[in-house]
Chain A
């Protein structure tokens, strides 16, 4: 049974810092891994999707890496801004395509 874990549960950093969010999964036979952002009271916004054949994906200040063999993914945020404050979730698809989520990391970037 696939399980997804995110560490840390919460993170507070000063503006301008580079930071890394961690995601681990127990079954390495995944098709892809997706990172989402969730603002308070809002739905989920997809940030990056990494296919199983890829090692990383980049979008602006965001870079996501995937290491299937070790069951890990990281989301790197460069030069963090207060607008980056949100909850970040990672997810992998189960055998029917449903997404299995981690519990999320709540990020606060202080001005």
Chain B
């Protein structure tokens, strides 16, 4: 079974530029999560999708971050414009359902450095 795929693995941009990350979850997983992990901290949820609907985006900085999962499969996270404090690892995860009793599976992450 293929795992969660993410691209790119690394990205370096200057502040005020735009950047987009892509995630393809495990086949058949209805729930998709985007987490932000700042160096030295645990991951924090940015947005959670159930199929193509948003379940939780309360921690997403909506003035600069956007995400979509149009066909209920893969997802794109965009930052426009980027700030220095957006430097972090962006992790995508998926689960079979809402996974209150089950596990989430994580991709390798995208490391973003904003200069």
Are A and B associated in one complex? yes
Interface status of A86 (Cβ within 8 A of chain B): no
Query: B109 contacts A42, CB within 8 Å?
Result: yes
Q: Mark A71-96, 1 if CB is under 8 A from B, else 0.
A: 00000000000000000010101101
Q: Does the CB pair A32–B101 fall under 8 Å?
A: yes
Cβ of A98 and Cβ of B48 under 8 Å apart? yes
Give A91's nearest chain B residue, CB to CB. B42
Main secondary structure of the interface of A (DSSP, over half): strand
Tell which of B4, B40, B42 has the most Cβ of chain A within 10 Å.
Answer: B42
Stretch touching chain A among B13-21, B63-71, B73-81, B91-99:
B91-99
CB distance from B25 to the nearest CB of A (A): 13
Inter-chain CA distance A14–B68, complex, in Å, is 47
Q: Which of B35, B41, B100 is the most central at the interface, judged by chain A CB atoms within 10 Å of its CB?
A: B100
Which one of B43, B105, B111 lies within 8 Å of A41 (CB-CB)? B111
Residues of A within 8 A of B (CB): 4, 31-32, 34, 36, 41-46, 49, 51, 89, 91, 93-94, 96-99, 101-104
Q: Can you spell out 6 A-B residue pairs with CB atoms less than 8 angstroms apart?
A: A4-B42, A31-B100, A46-B106, A93-B100, A97-B99, A99-B33
Chain B residues at the A interface, C-beta cutoff of 8 Å: 4, 31, 33, 35, 40-45, 48, 55-56, 91, 93, 95, 97-109, 111
